[in-house]
């Protein structure tokens, strides 16, 4: 994680905001994310963001959709009407052992109506790893950091949050962007 932060600061923030201190560059970046309604703010390159894919670290942070399938309703008039999408999630528990979780959901009106496209889309989904080492560390520090406590409460209630919401909350709360865990939240929740 430290190397991801260093890369973000050295390779991205310093290039995008060369006249600012690192802390001020973080603030400018958060402002840009908060203000960007399209969700298309500047990010580090895909190569930099693929670092999480090279090892199992992403499974410490997230539950990754491992398998997705559709159970169709035989009584439905249309092909996918009232069908259930089932997902198997893969993640690392706090002991570093892979575990799996299952979920079921309906098909949202905005999702593709083609079965293959829907499965492909859902396989890109991620969720928070609520039982991994990273979440455990956040819980341990949350007693000393009000923002992290609020973040944990929000994500426990709602799951993944829009990065713009997190950036806006950080700005509103005037978080210390030099804080060890705040930097990690910026990296995990906004960048990657």
pLDDT digits (tens, 9 = 90+) for 6-53: 888 988 899 999 999 999 999 999 999 998 865 556 666 666 666 666
Domain of residue 62: give its range.
Answer: 57-128
Q: How far apart are CA 4 and CA 58, in angstroms?
A: 12
pTM, 2 dp: 0.80
Last residue of a domain, one of 75, 103, 128: 128
Domain membership flag for residue 86 = yes
Same domain, yes or no: 82 and 19? no
pLDDT value at 76 more than 70: no
Q: How far apart are CA 59 and CA 126, in angstroms?
A: 10
Domain membership flag for residue 115 = yes
């Amino acid at each position: 994680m430290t190397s991801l932060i260093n890369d973000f600061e050295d390779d991205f923030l310093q290039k995008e905001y060369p006249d600012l201190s690192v802390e001020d560059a973080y603030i400018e970046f958060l402002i840009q994310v908060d203000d960007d309604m399209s969700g298309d703010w500047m990010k580090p390159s895909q190569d930099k963001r693929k670092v999480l894919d090279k090892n199992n670290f992403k499974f410490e942070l997230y539950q990754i959709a491992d398998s997705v399938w559709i159970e169709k309703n035989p009584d439905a008039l249309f092909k996918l009407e009232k069908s259930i999408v089932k997902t198997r999630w893969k993640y690392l528990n706090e002991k570093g052992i892979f575990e799996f979780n299952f979920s079921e959901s309906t098909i949202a009106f905005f999702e593709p109506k083609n079965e293959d496209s829907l499965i492909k889309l859902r396989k890109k989904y991620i969720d928070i790893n609520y039982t991994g080492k990273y979440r455990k560390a956040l819980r341990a520090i949350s007693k000393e950091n009000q923002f992290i406590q609020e973040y944990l409460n929000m994500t426990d209630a709602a799951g993944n949050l829009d990065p713009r919401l997190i950036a806006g909350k950080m700005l509103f709360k005037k978080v210390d962007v030099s804080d060890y865990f705040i930097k990690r939240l910026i990296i995990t929740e906004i960048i990657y």
